[in-house]
Amino acid sequence: MSTQSTRELPWPSVQSGSTGADPLERAWSPQAFHVLAKPTGAICNLGCSYCFFLDKEELYEGSRFHMSDEVLDQYIRQLIEAHSSPVVTIAWQGGEPTLMGLDFYRRAIEIQDRYRKPGMTFENTIQTNGTLLTDEWCEFLKEHDFLVGISIDGPQPLHDVHRVTKRGEGTFDKVMRGLRLLQKHEVEYNVLTTVNAVNGDFPLEVYRFLRDEVGTTWMQFIPVVERVDEHGNPAYLNGMIASDRSVGGEQFGKFLSIIFDEWVRNDVGTIFVQTFEAAVRNWMGLGSSGMCVFNETCGLGVALEHNGDLYACDHFVEPEHLIGNINDVDMGDLVASKRQHTFGMDKRDSLPQFCLDCDVRFACHGECPKNRFIETPDGDPGLNYLCAGFKDFFHHVDEPIRIMAEAIKGGREADAVMPVMKSRDEAFESAVRVASRNDPCPCGSGEKTKRCHGGGQTVAAEQPGMPSGPGRPRTRVRDRR
């Protein structure tokens, strides 16, 4: 099992005597951290209906949303100075970062070379919708070894539901054209799929499309959880309900479980699904899953706006989570500040008792605090909206992931799980064949065999028809649970 694409950050050491009232007092000493730089701020050439970032334009009214050369220089110099690790990740995001034009990134590479410490290497990553990529872009990305993340939500009928132009037209063809250019130039890339209420019902269609038609070997599935007020208007961190575009909690768990079942029987070791990699790492007790959301604490992934404002996280670009501006205070000091340390520790310290008692907390850790806006069964606030799905998913994968974790610990490959699953499937199928129709189903559901696995139901039969085009109705309100 490879964990090559997960980005491990060294664990920071916590300093003693960090109890003063100054929020910028140093509270920890991260050897490395991750910055998502947004050189165009929230500006994007598309108008994806679920994008949480487009409205962030309002935070900088009247701005050109264009990172200046001075801020670019400050950013890279400070990032390098703050790192004692040999590898520094430099992540570009948006909005749509390609809108800055190639010359901006050429300058960024020059600045990296100028400030490089002896032995230091850089890993540039860029997250793009892919629609503006050209041969020239791809030649540059290849030459400088960028890792490109490209956003695709599945086959065309699923992708075009939400990923649309400002005029509401589907973008599938444009994204695939960009993706084929990346492949033509052999640029390293991975695929990011946001899982929403629509494509969330089509896990196998999405997975098989990415694997077989796109041809990617590395996938990320990110749940869309859009918080709204009682009128369905975006309310970000104050919204107490999820829009109807949001994936449902149980829906997301089922989405992951169905893909896992396909993956664990066919693709372990050849296809890398970030959530599954993280789960194996947590089952192995490695200390960090490689995904902030599934770590006990966070705070080492900050967001840099075009003007030098540094925020606690990409999902917390809100005035109350502004740590400071790198033109005024050094970035390393801002990340090491008490304010940011508290933000990161709160992920663990604000968990409700329901999570503290949970048998899969070691794998879930309450996921991301931005999604913790429902109540526990006991009425405590702060439970994750996706809780039901994570519980189902982590229980569902427990046994095969244990097998993988044991294999890796024993010096074998994780794909040792595949023949085990195959022989179990064969044993199960034969048990179903010999069971009489009115016997309890061998799967343990409690249903009669004829109404369960003896009845010939398939996942596909449970699924609704695919949507026929872009522009599904905009926000209405989904039930909190």
Could you list the active site residues? 314
Q: Which stretches within 244-386 are classed as H helix?
A: 249-266, 274-284, 331-335, 338-349, 353-356, 361-364
Q: Which two tokens stand for residue 393?
A: 């998913």
| Burial degree of 73 (CB within 10 A; 0-12, 13-18, 19+) | middle
Query: What is the crossing angle of helices 274-284 and 387-409, to 10°?
Result: 60
Q: Per-residue b/e over 147-161, b at no fewer than 16 CB within 10 Å?
A: bbbbbbbbbbbbbbb
Told to check if 348 binds ligand SF4 by CB under 6 A, we report: no
Amino acid of residue 110: E
Out of 227, 338, 347, 453, name the contact with ligand SF4 by CB under 6 A: 347
Other beta carbons less than 10 A from residue 452's beta carbon: 18
3-state secondary structure of 213: helix
Told to check if 223 binds ligand SF4 by CB under 6 A, we report: no
Question: At closest approach, how far in Å is the CB of 376 from ligand SF4?
Answer: 8
Q: Which one of the spans 52-60, 192-200, 212-220, 367-375 is the region binding ligand SF4 (CB under 6 A)?
A: 367-375
User: For residues 191 and 54, what is the distance between their CA atoms, to the nearest angstrom?
Assistant: 21
Question: At closest approach, how far in Å is the CB of 354 from ligand SF4?
Answer: 5
User: For residues 308 and 121, what is the distance between their CA atoms, to the nearest angstrom?
Assistant: 23
Q: What are the residues facing 477 on neighbouring strands?
A: 243
Told to check if 126 binds ligand SF4 by CB under 6 A, we report: no
Torsion-angle region of 26 (φ positive above 0: left; ψ -120 to 50: alpha; else: beta): beta
Told to check if 364 binds ligand SF4 by CB under 6 A, we report: yes
Out of 361, 402, 448, 450, name the contact with ligand SF4 by CB under 6 A: 361
Site string for ligand SF4, 305-344 (x = CB under 6 A): --------x-x-----------------------------
Question: At closest approach, how far in Å is the CB of 235 from ligand SF4?
Answer: 17
Question: At closest approach, how far in Å is the CB of 224 from ligand SF4?
Answer: 14
Q: Which one of the spans 74-82, 182-190, 265-273, 368-376 is the region binding ligand SF4 (CB under 6 A)?
A: 368-376
- 285 Cβ contact partners less than 8 Å away, ≥ 6 residues apart: 362
Q: Which one of the spans 230-238, 264-272, 359-367, 471-479 is the region binding ligand SF4 (CB under 6 A)?
A: 359-367
Question: At closest approach, how far in Å is the CB of 290 from ligand SF4?
Answer: 12
Q: Which of residues 17-56 bind ligand SF4 (CB under 6 A)?
A: none
Question: At closest approach, how far in Å is the CB of 194 from ligand SF4?
Answer: 14
Is there a contact between 33 and 300 (Cβ–Cβ < 8 Å)? yes
Which residue number, 35 or 358, has a Cβ lying nearer to ligand SF4?
Answer: 358
What are the Cα distances from residue 107, in Å, to 62, 69, 475?
26, 8, 41
Q: Which one of the spans 36-44, 62-70, 225-233, 358-366 is the region binding ligand SF4 (CB under 6 A)?
A: 358-366
Site string for ligand SF4, 267-296 (x = CB under 6 A): -------------------------xx---
Q: Per-residue b/e over 25-41, b at no fewer than 16 CB within 10 Å?
A: bbbbebebbbbbbbbbb
- Which phi and psi angles does 152 have, rounded to 5°? -140, 135
Out of 148, 182, 225, 368, name the contact with ligand SF4 by CB under 6 A: 368
Question: At closest approach, how far in Å is the CB of 367 from ligand SF4?
Answer: 6
Site string for ligand SF4, 379-418 (x = CB under 6 A): -----x--x--xx---------------------------
Which residue number, 146 or 311, has a Cβ lying nearer to ligand SF4?
Answer: 311
Which residue number, 154 or 301, has a Cβ lying nearer to ligand SF4?
Answer: 301
- Kind of pairing, strands 322-325 and 218-223? unpaired
User: For residues 330 and 85, what is the distance between their CA atoms, to the nearest angstrom?
Assistant: 18
Told to check if 355 binds ligand SF4 by CB under 6 A, we report: yes
- Residues engaged in binding ligand SF4 (CB under 6 A): 292-293, 298, 301, 313, 315, 347, 354-355, 358, 360-361, 364, 366-370, 384, 387, 390-391
